[in-house]
Amino acid sequence: MPVLFIGLMSGTSMDGIDAVLAALDSGPLVRHHVHQPFPPKLRDALLALNEPGADELHRAATAANSLSLAYATAVRTLLGQSATNAGSVSAIGCHGQTVRHNPQSGYTTQLVNGALLAELTGIPVVCDFRSRDIAAGGEGAPLVPAFHRAMFRHPEQGRVIVNIGGIANVTCLPATGPVTGFDCGPGNMLMDGWIAAHRQLPYDAGGAWAAQGRLLPELLDRLLDHEFYSRPPPKSTGRETFNLSSLQKLLAGNEAPVDVQATLCELTATAIARAIDLHCADAAEVYLCGGGARNARLVQRLAAMLSGRKLGTTDDLGIAAESVEAAAFAWLAQRTLAAEPGNLPEVTGASGPRILGAIYPA
């Protein structure tokens, strides 16, 4: 009988919930995947919590409860579509929804009510993965490089795994030696926010709108002048650093919205390519995952900037691009229950390997 875990991921793009059923003892790893968009009211509440405001404790608690109800619905849908009994699932690994990430101040906040999710599903829940790494002096992110190492490392060929969610991060997988990884800047977040503000669309499907615009070199230079890009790893980031308010301060005010979209696409591609060239120079293969892997314009720009390297998606390695992060948290939940470390100190900067997560029994 396969060892089954469920992974739940809702990232900084805030487009919804990815749920996977993962068999962690034998392939194929991902047995089923479900994507469930956020109800608009819940998405608005979560977005609002990324900024200081009144009555935050109450709003955060009620949003966590609403989010846990949505997670439970995604789990039930996943179990129903895959004809799987909840009793055969060892645990749910739930990332939660990041609303604040401030490791410099010693905390990160991923909303979820783990007790409620366990109560609603009848399945043990592992959540709050990032806090222990931060307690050990780390950034708490990214955590997925440990999963990338386990699933995608090649014994002879250096590889890079690029996760393009709301934030983009890279994992350098040399054939031998330490694995490194870090957040390299905004992924889809600014592009999603800009098209939502100007065209009332949740994202730029295939990068079609960006492809219609022209690059604004001076704006790109101002965007790339942010100190985050020159900061050495380990490093992580979020909406506190990259958001529409900070973007607006860099605009002259007469830019065509479509040209700004094109420039934001170029920003994401440039930040990823520069990170690879600087920190993963020996890697000959680059594989993309996350929603940005389906942005044809972004992939086109990356292909141009990474010429000489093979460029593909993690689909080529056996895990669909949209399933990787959720699968990673299923894997991390298994490690928590087995009392095995889930972080890579060389990635996060923690003082050592740590067992991650809080466990809520069913």
pLDDT for 258-293, tens place per residue? 999 999 999 999 999 999 999 999 999 999 999 999
Closest C-alpha to 139, from 345, 357, 359: 345
Rounded to two decimals, the pTM is 0.96
Give the number of other CB atoms < 10 A from CB of residue 25. 11
Closest C-alpha to 127, from 140, 138, 145, 111: 111
Q: How many domains, in total, are found in the chain? A: 2
Does residue 83 sit in the same domain as residue 181? no
Q: From CA 151, how far away is CA 220, in angstroms rounded?
A: 35
Does residue 276 sit in the same domain as residue 343? no
Say what the pLDDT of residue 15 is: 87
- Give the CATH number of the domain where residue 77 resides: 3.30.420.40
Does residue 222 sit in the same domain as residue 337? no
Does residue 153 sit in the same domain as residue 302? yes
Does residue 211 sit in the same domain as residue 308? yes
Does residue 107 sit in the same domain as residue 213? no
Say what the pLDDT of residue 1 is: 74
- Find the domain containing 268 and state its range: 144-317
Does residue 83 sit in the same domain as residue 171? no
CA distances from 35 to 121, 162, 184, 198 (A): 18, 21, 26, 25
Does residue 204 sit in the same domain as residue 307? yes
In the chain, what percentage of residues exceed pLDDT 90?
97
Q: From CA 295, how far away is CA 188, in angstroms rounded?
A: 9
| Positions in the chain whose pLDDT score sits under 70 | none
Axis-axis angle for helices 257-279, 189-199 (nearest 10): 180
| Domain end call among 287, 302, 317 | 317
Does residue 135 sit in the same domain as residue 152? no
Does residue 276 sit in the same domain as residue 215? yes
Does residue 232 sit in the same domain as residue 298? yes
Say what the pLDDT of residue 2 is: 86
- What is the pairing mode between strands 125-127 and 358-360? antiparallel
Locate 25 and state its tokens: 């003892």
Say what the pLDDT of residue 13 is: 84
Does residue 116 sit in the same domain as residue 220? no
